[in-house]
Amino acid sequence: MHTTVGIIGGGPAGLLLARLLHNAGIDSVVLESRDRAYVEQRQRAGILEQGTVDILRAAGAGARMDTEGMPHDGIELRFDGRAHRLDFPALTGGRSVMVYAQTEVVKDLIALQLADGGTLLFDAEVTAVEGADTERPTVRYRHDGQDKTLTCDYVVGCDGFHGVARNAVPESVRTTYERTYPYSWLGILADARPVYDELIYAHHERGFALASMRSPTVSRLYLQVPNGTDPADWSDERIWDELDARFATDADPGWKLERGTVTSKSVLPMRSHVTEPMRYGRVFLAGDAAHIVPPTGAKGLNLAAADVVRLAEAFTRLHTTGGTDLLDAYSDAALRRVWRAEHFSYFMTTTLHSEPEQSPFQTRLQISQLDRIASSEHAAAELAENYAGLPFTG
């Protein structure tokens, strides 16, 4: 096969790019190493920035999101026995976020891709990307038990941190920046009604906790735990008790979560990672193939969406005018937004989590920062603007 844009990875980034290219009249092929059932059940982020919501609607993928998603106009911070709500629309000039699981975004985009006859191959394991610096790079993959090739005018790697696309950027020109955090998240999905209207971020002497949701009847909850924690060591009752303890406030000490059946339990390590540049020759990197953020700032899926929106605009410019200026500017422009999101995610993570053997001095600094956010409209607006999402382009 030959296509204009070969897309490696059928997650939200690759699928959204394929949709945007289709709407611009540009052909593409999406290669996904997993089967459809796995891709549609892969649990990831559930918070969509205003910009992600807007682009899904504009791409024709917002109908079910607008029916089943849950708009949120803020978050609540709990710390030092207090609770403080941030009103996003008031602080950002009307911007908010949407709770709509990545699984559902992926289902919507897959349905659109297949309905429009776009080429989307599941169980297509990419083994190599060759000729990145030539006019016709080649993607080698295995599908239906056969080794096959896809030649492309351009290749976009949306295949995640462990994918092969990043290897198309030679080590001699590639720089990696990384931080590993000394704690993880123990996350659960539970058939339990959320007793909170918006996400709760809790700073506690025993560690961070986050109350989120997937639907009006399904809770998504997290606890900070040491690296290397085995989920089996945490009984359901122990998890619920610890969550209640970390969310407690002086104003409402009897506040409790609604408990229900825990349907999923896993431990998520925390890290920050950036690969530069995000382009080499005719191969471009997007999403987790180029950058990883800790989930505290809810930026992973949204950063990926911003990358592919920028790429779609660049390919559309090339398609309509022959101009390559936006493609040439992609890496530098995308990385400016990436590093802003990296900093915000780092800030949220280090402000809300406790280091192993953390000193009282460090804890007081964290409380001071959270108190500043609660008492200063300027500090609150800085957090709200970053959380609700900075502009995708520009």
pLDDT tens-digit series, residues 180-198: 999 999 999 999 999 999 9
Active site residue 182: no
Question: How confident is the prediction for the chain on average, in pLDDT?
Answer: 96
pLDDT, tens digit, for every residue of 50-108? 999 999 999 999 999 999 999 999 999 999 999 999 999 999 999 999 999 999 999 99
Active site residue 154: no
In the numeric block, the tokens 């990831």 are attached to: 44
Residue 238 tokens read as: 């122990």
Residues 152, 140: contact at Cβ < 8 Å? no
Taken in order 248, 102, 347, 389, is the CA torsion positive or negative? negative
Compute the residue count for the chain: 394
Active site residue 222: no
Catalytic residue among 203, 291, 299, 353: 299
Give me the residues paired with residue 72 across strands.
97
Helix (H, G, I), strand (E, B) or coil at 387: helix
Catalytic residue among 22, 72, 203, 353: 72
By CB atoms closer than 10 A (0-12, 13-18, 19+), residue 324 is: exposed
pLDDT, tens digit, for every residue of 289-320? 999 999 999 999 999 999 999 999 999 999 99
Catalytic residue among 201, 222, 280, 330: 201
Give me the residues paired with residue 177 across strands.
274
Active site residue 148: no
Domains and CATH numbers, the chain: 2-72+96-178+271-352 (3.50.50.60), 181-269+357-386 (3.30.9.10)
Smallest CA-to-CA distance from 191 within 100, 263, 265 is with 263
Give me the residues paired with residue 125 across strands.
142
* Statement: the pTM of the whole predicted model exceeds 0.75: yes
Active site residue 387: yes
User: Which residues, other chains included, contact 78 with Cβ-Cβ below 8 Å and sequence gap of 6+?
Assistant: 84, 200, 201, 202, 203, 204, 247, 249
Smallest CA-to-CA distance from 300 within 124, 158, 123, 179 is with 158
Catalytic residue among 280, 295, 330, 353: 295
